[in-house]
Amino acid sequence: MNIRQSRRNLLISTIKGGLALATTSVLSPILLSSCKRKEKASEAINAKEVLASLCPGQESLSEEDKMVRKSLKYVDQTPQADKTCDNCKLYTNPRGDGPCGGCQVVPGPIHPKGYCSAWIRRM
Ligand code: SF4
């Protein structure tokens, strides 16, 4: 191997190493982001299952009742810590053993830490 070939081989191996490093540094954040999204989706599904077990009967509501819940943007976990169903004027306390009560406008079981767009402060 002469000096020219040696330089060429060195240049090629440097380029290959650089490409591998660049590929790794570009793909790593994308792969990590994808994994984190999957974890969050999995956590959301688990949280939904836990809430569904706390407030059973949501799945057997009529399509009309589901539409009312959806149109008022009811959620089992409030996005605003100071606005929850249990401090809403329209919330009715649980009647059975479970933690979930009811609501004067939203049909079906209502989680005390839920929320919807019809929230009114209880005085
Ligand atoms: Fe909860 Fe909305 Fe009913 Fe108030 S009106 S209790 S925030 S579902």
Residue nearest to atom 4 of ligand 1 (CA): 119
Prediction pTM value: 0.62
Is the Cβ–Cβ distance between 71 and 107 less than 8 Å? Answer: no
The band of 15, judged by pLDDT with boundaries at 50, 70 and 90, is low
Nearest CA to ligand 1 atom 3: 103
pLDDT for 66-120, tens place per residue? 999 999 999 999 999 999 999 999 999 998 888 999 999 999 999 999 999 999 9
pLDDT for res 5: 73
- Could you tell me if 119 and 72 are in contact, meaning their C-beta atoms sit under 8 angstroms apart? no
Q: What is the pLDDT of residue 60?
A: 93
> What pLDDT score was predicted for residue 84?
98
Say what the pLDDT of residue 2 is. Answer: 67
Q: How many helical (H) and strand (E) elements, i.e. helices and strands, does the chain have? A: 2, 2
Q: Identify the pLDDT of residue 97.
A: 84
Cα 18 from chain centroid? 38
pLDDT tens for 21-59 read: 555 565 566 555 665 666 666 666 566 666 666 788 888
Ligand 1 center from residue 83 Cα (angstroms): 9
Coil vs helix vs strand at 109: coil
Q: According to the model, what pLDDT value does residue 52 have?
A: 60
What pLDDT is recorded for position 25? Answer: 60
Residue 115 Cα: closest atom of ligand 1: 7
Question: 18 or 88: which carries more pLDDT confidence?
Answer: 88
- Best substitution site from 61, 90, 123 to test ligand 1's pocket, by max atoms within 8 Å of Cβ? 90
In degrees to the nearest 10, what's the CA dihedral of 80, 75, 71, 61?
-160
114 CA: nearest ligand 1 atom:
1
Residue 39, classed as helix, strand or coil, is helix
